[in-house]
């Protein structure tokens, strides 16, 4: 029995180890397609300067990080919140799935509307306020209306994510700056976002109250709406290109 238990306990490790195979294959493919070093000799390389000192670049980055932290909190803790409110495990999982599917649909449809806007300030703020309303509905709304709040939450978060990606390109005046701003916004932004579920779990464990978690989510929504408003203004980051060999 002990041996069987040990074997089953290690099964998850072997399952995870199998994912190294496609990674290794992708590495080989990419390695084979990399150009030789000699092909770069004599070419000019464009280097972006001043991006990390630009306030607008940081507003874009913090908009990305704050709205992503809400998504991570929802993925990690929404079923627990609904279970605490008395919903069954199956129903709680279904509500999360409904929200995620709606989020995906919203992410696909929104870019067609964004192309018509002069700037994104109003829609950024609206998306984050709608996210807050959806979250508060999940925390405090009647159980019979939970599907409405799950749909609203998914649509709003899908819009927020698309908007955060969109402003990266719109705040950049060329592809070189956009690539560097994307690295900054997503690298730092997702690092910030990864702290969201940990902070939410720690707060919930310390207080034992859903109200404290709801207050945290509401606060993040307000902060993210502010950064979204600042990042949505029709202007470009103050960065410049330098050529190097």
Distance CA 233, CA 217 (A): 25
3-state helix, strand, coil in the chain (%, to 5): 80, 5, 15
In this predicted model, which residue has the larger pLDDT, 130 or 32?
A: 130
Beta pairing partners, 46: 243
8 A C-beta contact, residue 165 and residue 68: no
What does the domain layout of the chain look like in residue ranges? 71-242
**pLDDT at residue 236 is higher than 60:** yes
pLDDT at 186 (0 to 100):
93
Distance CA 93, CA 82 (A): 9
pLDDT at 5 (0 to 100):
46
Coil, strand, or helix at residue 49? strand
CATH number of 71-242: 1.20.1250.20
Q: Nearest Cα to 185, choosing from 161, 164, 170?
A: 164
Query: CA 232: distance to chain centroid?
Result: 17
Distance CA 135, CA 83 (A): 15
Ramachandran angles phi, psi of 46, nearest 5°: -85, 125
pLDDT at 119 (0 to 100):
81
Most confident of the ranges 48-62, 132-146, 167-181: 132-146
pLDDT single digits (tens) 74-108: 999 999 999 999 999 999 999 999 999 999 888 88
């Amino acid at each position: 029995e002990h041996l069987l238990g040990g074997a089953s306990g290690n099964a998850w490790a072997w399952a995870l180890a199998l994912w190294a195979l496609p990674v290794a294959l992708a590495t080989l493919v990419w390695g084979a397609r990399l150009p030789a070093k000699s092909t770069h000799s004599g070419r000019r390389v464009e280097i972006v300067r001043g991006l990390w000192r630009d306030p607008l670049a940081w507003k874009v980055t913090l908009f990305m990080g704050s709205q992503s932290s809400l998504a991570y909190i929802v993925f990690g803790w929404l079923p627990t919140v609904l279970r605490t409110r008395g919903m069954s495990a199956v129903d709680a999982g279904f509500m999360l799935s409904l929200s995620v599917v709606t989020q995906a649909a919203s992410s696909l449809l929104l870019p067609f509307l964004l192309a018509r806007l002069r700037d994104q300030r109003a829609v950024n703020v609206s998306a984050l306020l709608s996210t807050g309303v959806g979250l508060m509905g999940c925390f405090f709304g009647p159980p019979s209306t939970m599907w409405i709040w799950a749909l609203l939450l998914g649509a709003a978060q899908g819009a927020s994510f698309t908007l955060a990606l969109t402003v990266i390109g719109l705040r950049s005046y060329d592809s070189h700056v956009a690539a560097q701003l994307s690295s900054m916004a997503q690298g730092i932004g997702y690092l910030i976002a990864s702290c969201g579920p940990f902070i939410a779990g720690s707060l919930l464990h310390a207080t034992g109250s859903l109200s404290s978690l709801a207050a945290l989510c509401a606060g993040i929504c307000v902060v993210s709406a502010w950064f979204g408003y600042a990042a949505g203004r029709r202007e470009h980051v103050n960065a410049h290109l330098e050529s190097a060999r």
